[in-house]
Amino acid sequence: MMECQDLESEGVEIIVGTYEEFVLGYKLSGDESEGEGRHKLKLTQSFTNHSHSGSIRSVSVAGKYLASGSADEAIRLINMGLRVEHGYMQQQSGTITCITNFGSKYLFSGSTDGTICIWKCGSWICEKTLHAHVGGVLDVSIHPSGKLALSVGMDKTLKTWNLIKGRTGFVTNLHGVGDVVRWSPEGTYYAVGISNRLDVYNVETAKVVYSVPFGKRVSSLCFPNDDVVIMAGDKDTVEVHNITKSKKLSEFKAHKVRVKDMRFIVEHNLLVTGSNCDQYIKLWRFKDESCSTSPTLVTELDTTCRITCLTVWSKSIAKSQSDIATPEVESIDKTAKTNKNDEISDDDEKVNDEDDDEELSKLRTSKVNKTKLGKLDKKSKKNVRTLKEQGKKRKVNPSESMVPNSNKKLLGGKETKTVDVKQQSKPIAEPPKKKRKTKNSKP
């Protein structure tokens, strides 16, 4: 009963994106109908948003904001505190395939155009555009220190990004398309789902320390702790593995046909799974942090929509993200392109230059979250802020034509403005016509 009250007080919500272009929110609460003897959780719908014009491909939470990426090439923002739309951003010319955040400071978006955009939360300015993968970016994951990022794409490579300098650090040939990549909570390991297997790498050695055949495509990963990884994909079961012991802890049937996405709520040892086949959201509880035994089903709900992605938001998550310290970043150009001479190795990863090697070696010996974040780039402060802030600061002439907020767009950090044509246009005097000279005309 205590856990139910904690979940209600924290305002835990499961947010899903769907093929039907909807973003749906479901709140966790206690089920009073179960009586005093049994305490069960239930899911009740809290909001519905239909602002996208394409299927939702990714959702992520950055502080009090919810970001959703879609096939319509736009990122929509929702203020979860006020429950209002906050505006949208459109910088990339392709489907937004993945969105992830680092605390409440920065948002990272990958697209089928091969770029990764780094957005500054609050002002929502695109600080940098990284040209990452030929053919499109499939997934991005940020190191807990904020100094490194991993990305996988259609070019069958895994790229390690030095976020201090804004350029590629390592390039690894995966011999297959990597669909998903994740860092462990402490940054000791990172896992890559390649076709029908999962490879877990050790950061210190950059070698595969644990490889698991899954049989089907791996589409979702999560780390309950630094030693345990949970994997799911195009089959109906979810597998739990211990990395240090190199063994499978448990396997249980979660959905029909496939599991599309999942998230782990560390504070309550709860696993949230969603499927686009049976259209269900399911909540599973593990007995302890080790996840050594199979979980029990707590609650489930039929969304009647084909789920493509999901995430979890709560007041405690928003607060913890705002407390994350981030490293100082050098001021560099907004657009950082990868070097054409990037070396790609089959087994080992190679460093592009000595500076990157020094930065990465410092990271391996330093503690996570030790430094604080400076500003990425001060050049773009003059760009547009959010729609709400613009409405407060901008003085409007009564004679000027007004435009609804829905027509104001954030295009690459700039707001499109419309002006009354009649008010701005002025009559232009026509130049005098020259008389044509004829044979009979006198000079």
CATH number of the domain enclosing 190 = 2.130.10.10
Residue 252 located in a structural domain = yes
Question: How many domains would you assign to the chain?
Answer: 1
Q: Would the pLDDT of 403 be above 50?
A: no
Residue 177 located in a structural domain = yes
Q: Would the pLDDT of 92 be above 60?
A: yes
Q: How far apart are CA 329 and CA 323, in angstroms?
A: 18
Give the DSSP letter of residue 379.
G
Q: Which two tokens stand for residue 216?
A: 């089907």
Do 231 and 198 form a contact (C-beta atoms < 8 A)?
yes
For the chain, percent of residues with pLDDT exceeding 90: 59
Residue 339 located in a structural domain = no
pTM of the complete model = 0.73
Residue 15 located in a structural domain = yes
Q: How far apart are CA 289 and CA 87, in angstroms?
A: 38
Residue 236 located in a structural domain = yes
- The boundaries of the domain holding residue 138 are 2-322
Q: Would the pLDDT of 443 be above 80?
A: no
Higher pLDDT, 31 or 68: 68
Q: Which two tokens stand for residue 247?
A: 């063994």
pLDDT band at 8 (very low <50, low <70, confident <90, very high): low
pLDDT band at 393 (very low <50, low <70, confident <90, very high): very low
Residue 331 located in a structural domain = no
User: Would you state the pLDDT for residue 416?
Assistant: 32
Give the DSSP letter of residue 402.
P
- Closest to 282 (Cα-Cα) out of 237, 216, 323: 237
Using the Cα atoms of residue 284, residue 182, residue 239 and residue 176 in order, give the sign of their dihedral.
Answer: positive
pLDDT in tens, 325-342: 655 544 334 444 444 444
pLDDT band at 377 (very low <50, low <70, confident <90, very high): very low
pLDDT in tens, 93-128: 999 999 999 988 899 999 999 999 999 999 999 999
Residue 432 located in a structural domain = no
- Closest to 140 (Cα-Cα) out of 192, 105, 91: 192
Q: Would the pLDDT of 360 be above 90?
A: no
For the chain, percent of residues with pLDDT exceeding 70: 68
Do 85 and 105 form a contact (C-beta atoms < 8 A)?
no
Residue 418 located in a structural domain = no
Lowest mean pLDDT among 156-165, 252-261, 285-294, 319-328: 319-328
How far is residue 148 from each of residues 81, 142, 203, 359, 405, measured CA to CA in Å?
A: 30, 6, 11, 10, 37
Q: How far apart are CA 24 and CA 18, in angstroms?
A: 8
